[in-house]
A and B are shown apart, each in its own frame.
Chain A
Amino acid sequence: MSGPPAADTGAVRAGCDRQDVNFKGQPYIEVRDLVFEYRRGSDTDGEPDVVMRAVDGVSLDVPRGSFTAIIGRNGSGKSTLAKNVNALFLPTSGSVTVDGMDTRDDAFVWEIRRRVGMVFQNPDNQLVSAVVEDDVAFGPENLGVAPDEIRERVRAALIAVDMTEQRKMAPHLLSGGQKQRVAIAGVVAMRPDAIIFDEPTAMLDPEGRREVMDVIGRLRADGVTIVLITHFMDETVDADRVVIMDRGRIVLDGTPAEVFRRADEIESLGLRLPFAVELASRLRRRGIDVPAGLLTPEAVAGWLRGSAA
């Protein structure tokens, strides 16, 4: 299954589709020609509806077990796209399917939300209980899971996010990173196939950011399909694929190395390069011939040490 042709999406396909090489079979999430419009207006003041097209013809395949990073300016449509994937929003036109289930089919809505979990920016808005383990149990309880099974799921979820020690604590006494890990555990306890993270580190301190990114890495290793929306470019360099959105459309799509090679386009989109990519490009301008495609500080440092020896 190849992605849609560039003409459909306005996307500049950077190189080959790595997903074809690495991930065989039916894509887990299939977004087809998705348009989503926010409307507001006429009810109170008689003025015509104001229509804001937040997603404007997006097609995207997310293979099972892959890690897709989505970046783009505030208002570029990233979060709206994400909310269409787990049926919080339904398409104005086009379609979204999760493991073959169409989000517009009422019969699938709850199953889709169980399979595709979401983690948001502010952990304080996602925690509901007075004790950490009760909070993690909240989701499976609502699914009607048997008590023994709930206990097992909560235990496993807390291990997955490394919060077992704090299981009896009140969430409001935790640090930002710990709260966010509890929110993730609550999603993990639903045994989802995929988790969409919508700027999960935006409000966190450096340690909290490291903790959450470590947890995302572990979930990925366990085979969970990851979609990460972020403004921190350095969080995307380990992804299988980076998708850049602008004005509701996908404008760049490829591996991190492919996408971040297009420095000028990325800057003109109001974005930045990952630290190591920007450094390497500026070093090249100073006559130090750092090869392209080094994405991490460790890789650039390694090259600098090696080439100087």
Chain B
Amino acid sequence: MNWKRKDLLGIEELTTDEIIHILDASVSFKEILKRPIKKVPTLRGKTIVNFFFEPSTRTRISFELAEKRLSADTVNFSTNGSSVQKNETLLDTALNIEAMKIDAAVVRHSGAGIPHMLAKRLSVPVINAGDGAHEHPTQALLDMFTIREKKGTIKNLKVAIVGDVRFSRVARSDIWGLTKMGAEVYVVAPPTFIPPYLENMPTATAMAGKNIKISNSLDNVIKEVDVIMALRIQTERHQPSPRRRQSGSDASETRLRQAGEGSFFPSAREYRQFFGITMDRLKKAKKDIIVMHPGPINRGVEMDPEVADSKYSVILEQVTNGVAVRMAVLYILLGGKK
């Protein structure tokens, strides 16, 4: 296929063919990770800047390893000790770094849409490494890659996404991706964690909406699904920031905020009781179910330690696949004549 996009900002705008193209390319890059010398000279002489305006371990290291294993030069930017603290605007910072002649930018930010804004203003490819509660496209791609590798296909699979769907960019990207690939997605969460956008997901994009089922009971769903994906409770996004409070236009959201902190999430113990992935619950599931988590795991809350370390868990394989998928994305965006 002839890749046309400059950036990778979200799964929402990708076609099914584009998703398949990235997943197919990832197979070859995974093979490189098994070699004694895990490095190819493909992006020699290219410079990639990782802009991480929000804490990250897995994603930042995964991107950096993907870049290094393609022989690109990497520069890591973080807000601490930078001119952001001298009141320089984000855009000015980015334009200045671009003026030093870079070849791509990887961006993570707590504000939804920041990578999109930068993509419009920068001439180099921008890769979204997570923007607020909006999208995390490479995570969804690695999730789909892992599911496809384990199950052979994504089409017609039943996938449960359990937990803090409302504030999870991973969930949103996964819902877009999995429904485009023909899976049936069960969104399982307490009512406070069901995002308002689910009901509004445009029915025009045929697959979405049709293949999404919402449930407030994990016990009802667990028997049916092939894949169960637990999400981390995004406590850092539960407290409304001053900015969010101003822009809170959604009525239900305002109501929830007025109820004060904690209204999303009563207690870890109560959450585990109803939505935790436990061995007891897994006994009711299909024998070949796989359990996923984007990390970092709160052991004993969204998932019990025995489950995370069990034969059902593919969590560490997700991490390995993340490097392969990010190599594929960089290769596709930076390679070839555009």
A and B found bound together: no
Residues of A within 8 A of B (CB): none
